[in-house]
Structure 1
């Protein structure tokens, strides 16, 4: 069940460079993934950071990883996990956060031959599908429980994602086919 909660003020980052291109905005059918990071608060006030890769066609989470630090290593290893288990996309769409514009992340995309598409600065709607997934995860699971440690959070998110990909998504698609 969805739960509405008070908004909290989360840490922010700044971007000190020009807008980069949104390559998938005008495309109607595209082999693309979307990637983002979200903040998850533990009961002791510490933060965990969840990086997720979403297939924009199947709406399934292809890979995820939680870390105590929000850095390039987190997004690179999450992307590499997705690439090791799935056929590479033509495009990867992200926001313009420092992790996604870092040399290390861009180098992985270049080596794989994946074009990098970016959301417009200040417009999270360009990356709405992955943002929507993170919001859903928080409403359906994160805000309903307390997590004393990063290990508990990692286990709970992994279990939720197994259910999300294998049961929730298939139930939604079956209902759409019946209608």
Structure 2
């Protein structure tokens, strides 16, 4: 039954087919229906309250000082009276999906099977919709937990074409967001992302290549390569997220959705 349904309807319809009372586990049902497990559960990760408080502060500091690494962020926290070790800061930064944003020599290799594509937008004049789309993920704090927000943005119009929330940064969640944008708005000439493993993996790049879309990737740690998405995050955080304390993921989804419609 589930394998037959996997070929019917869109992602929302397939999610509705999940039967939480079925003998087949929810994880297995999601796999067979070809949807991400994270998008089915939609629950914040259990994290100690003390860590959540530090993560919320790190999120604000990262927006103010995008060039700050774990050493500087630890110092900024210490100046505010928060005693925390640098290793702990690095651990929380990894969980949040943030890093210091500055150009540096590439000293690490991409994950096996993941290809890094060149940045194609330098000097390009962006003059029309669907010429260039960009995508990124950001951390969203909640009252008792957190989720991740992914968006696809049109560079010419600054319009948010599609977005999703997830409890993980897994590739499937990003692929679904991309597929939503393609289904609703056609396809761009160029698609730009950072070098995150979600975007360099074969599942994601295959969707772009299969639609004849040129793939562009930021320089490592170079936030200016995707500056319009960074501006969006700043607006989302200061005009929506930091003014709320979402109790549930559904509340976060509804409120963020209203804001993005306005944006």
TM range (shorter): 0.7 to 0.9
Aligned match of 1:41:
141
Of the candidates 172, 183, 205, which is equivalent to residue 106 of structure 1? Answer: 205
Higher relative contact order (CA 8 A, sep 6+): 1
Q: How many residues are treated as equivalent by the alignment? A: 159
Q: Which residue of 2 aligns with 1:73?
A: 172
Distance 1:6 1:129, change over 3 A: closer
Aligned to 2:240: 141
Q: Deviations over 1:59-94 (max 9, x none)?
A: 100000011111101110000000001020000010
Aligned-partner SS, 2:93: coil
The 2-side partners of 1:19 and 1:69 are apart by 22
Q: Distance in 2 between matches of 1:78 and 1:162?
A: 16
Task: Give the secondary structure class of the aligned counterpart of 2:143.
Answer: coil
Q: Which has the higher helix share?
A: 2
- What's 2:122 paired with? 25
Q: Which has the larger radius of gyration?
A: 2
CA-to-aligned-CA distance 1:105-128 (integer Å, 9 cap, x gap): 011111111111011001111011
Q: Residue 84 of structure 2 aligns with which residue?
A: none
**Partners of 2:60 and 2:197 in 1: CA distance:** 27
| Structure-2-length-normalised TM-score | 0.57
Give the gaps of 5 or more residues in structure 2.
Answer: 1-58, 63-88, 100-107
Aligned to 1:55: 154
How far the C-alpha of 1:19 sits from its partner, in A, is 5.4
CA distance in 2, matches of 1:135, 1:104: 29
Worse overlay, 10-19 or 87-96 = 10-19
Contact 1:68-1:150 at 8 Å conserved across structures? no
- Which residue is equivalent to 2:41? none
